[in-house]
Amino acid sequence: MSSFKPSPRTHTYKPALAWFAAIGGFWVFVLVMLGAFTTSIGAGMVFKDWPLSNGSVNPAGWLSDAAEFAEHSHRLSAELMSLITIAIAIWIWRTEERAWLRKLAGFAVALIFAQAIVGGLRVLLEHHYVDTINTSVGRLFAMLHACLAQIYVCTLLAIALSLSRPWLSPAQGAAAEAAARLRKIGAACCALILLQLAVAAIMRHSFAGLAIPMFPKSAPDGSWLPAAWDFRVAIHFTHRAMALVLTVALLWFAVRIWREKAARAGLKEAAGVMVGCLFLQVALGASVIWTTRDPYYTTAHVIVGACTLAVTFGITWWTHRETISRSRA
């Protein structure tokens, strides 16, 4: 009998793996959408237990109740996303020569397990209240859950891009130099977006989405600053101020990309998508206020925020392609 020998690890384009990773990168946005909608309609605690839902893997009546449908769909999609992530990681570890990519796949698996635990603690610790900060321990974990989700999106995107055919033929000469000039500003923009999304998570789970109920002004008398301040008003105003900072930063990043003559057409097109996401995100943010936090506008605002991060991170990851591809660690 011949012993089974695994396929050798290679540094070549693997179409099936690349497409499977791309599907995983798409499905994560479905997961984000379901999580955002669940929070937007206040259904995060419709089930008081975890990992089961009302003591069952298939709770009675969940298909006919909007709140239960949103939360249980989120849990089911998270389970599917976990399986997809584990499958991608195993596939990469068995077939991929690049050690850094194998480690990145392992990091994605660690993130999905961390997300599951944090999501569970959000439910199990909701009844513990922290008087000093006027919130529950469960909501603190909900904020962390939202932030980890954005890092998870970026990780899956990095894996999918690194498995694509164009990644395996790095740019040379002027194109590589153009990418190098864009790296720092791209990294700064990604950091700003992550900070903004963290502020947004705190705001949403502190019920501060309408702490300033008008837009673009912040007070009924037309003032740009709120008339009275507390934590909810402050975190809401911080979110608005960060949006202004991000608008300037992302427009600057896009202009820098467009002015780089040696930058590839795909990079310039991605910069256009980034700017489109930015303006759509601002419009949705305003609509959230004007519609008194309509759940559909609020959910769309969260999704487009994740898309804005994904596109910006994707551009930045791509500008680091030569440096990453040379890594043997």
Q: What dihedral angle (degrees, nearest 10) is formed by the CA atoms of 215, 216, 219, 220?
A: -70
User: What is the C-alpha to C-alpha distance for residues 264 and 269, in angstroms, rounded to an integer?
Assistant: 9
- pLDDT over 90 at 32, yes or no: yes
Tokens of 253: 């990043």
Domain, as residue range, for 20: 14-169
pLDDT single digits (tens) 182-202: 999 999 999 999 999 999 999
Which residues neighbour 236 within 8 Å (Cβ) at sequence distance 6 or greater? 203, 208, 209, 211, 212
183 and 37 part of one domain: no
Task: Copy the structure tokens of residue 198.
Answer: 């963290």
What's the pLDDT score for residue 11? 79
Mean pLDDT of the chain: 91
Residues 31 and 118 grouped into a single domain: yes
Same domain, 96 and 194: no
Question: Which tens digit of pLDDT belongs to each residue from 91-128?
Answer: 999 999 999 999 999 999 999 999 999 999 999 998 88
How much is the pLDDT for 9? 82
Does residue 177 sit in the same domain as residue 300? yes
pLDDT at 172: 66
CB atoms within 10 A of CB 216: 9
Instruction: Say how far apart CA 207 and CA 141 lie, in whole Å.
Output: 15
Q: How many domains are contained in the chain? A: 2
Residue 265: pLDDT band by 50, 70, 90 thresholds?
Answer: confident
Six token digits for residue 260: 């780089």
Which of these three, 169, 194, 213, is where a domain ends? 169
pLDDT attached to residue 12: 86
Q: Which residues make beta-bridge pairs with 10?
A: 96
Q: What pTM was computed for the model? A: 0.92
Residue 143 within any structural domain of the chain: yes
Structure confidence at residue 304 as a pLDDT band (50, 70, 90): very high
Say if 7 falls within a structural domain. no
Last residue of one domain, picked from the residues 144, 169, 194? 169
Residue among 318, 213, 327, 231 at smallest CA distance from 266: 318
Residues 31 and 134 placed together within one structural domain of the fold: yes
Asked if residue 1 belongs to a domain, the reply is no
Residue 176 confidence (pLDDT) above 80: no
Q: The tokens 């709140």 sit on which residue?
A: 67
Q: Has residue 310 got a pLDDT over 60?
A: yes
Query: In this structure, are 188 and 149 located in the same domain?
Result: no
What are the tens digits of pLDDT across the range 138-147? Answer: 899 999 999 9
Q: The tokens of 197 are what?
A: 């999304």
Domain end (from 145, 169, 193)? 169
Residues above pLDDT 70, as percent of the chain: 94
Q: Does position 290 have pLDDT exceeding 90, yes or no?
A: yes
327 closest CA partner among 85, 94, 92, 104: 104
Amino acid 1: pLDDT: 46
Question: What is the full DSSP assignment across 78-101?
Answer: HHHHHHHHHHHHHHHHHHB--HHH
Measured in degrees and rounded to the nearest 5, phi and psi for residue 135 equal: -155, 175
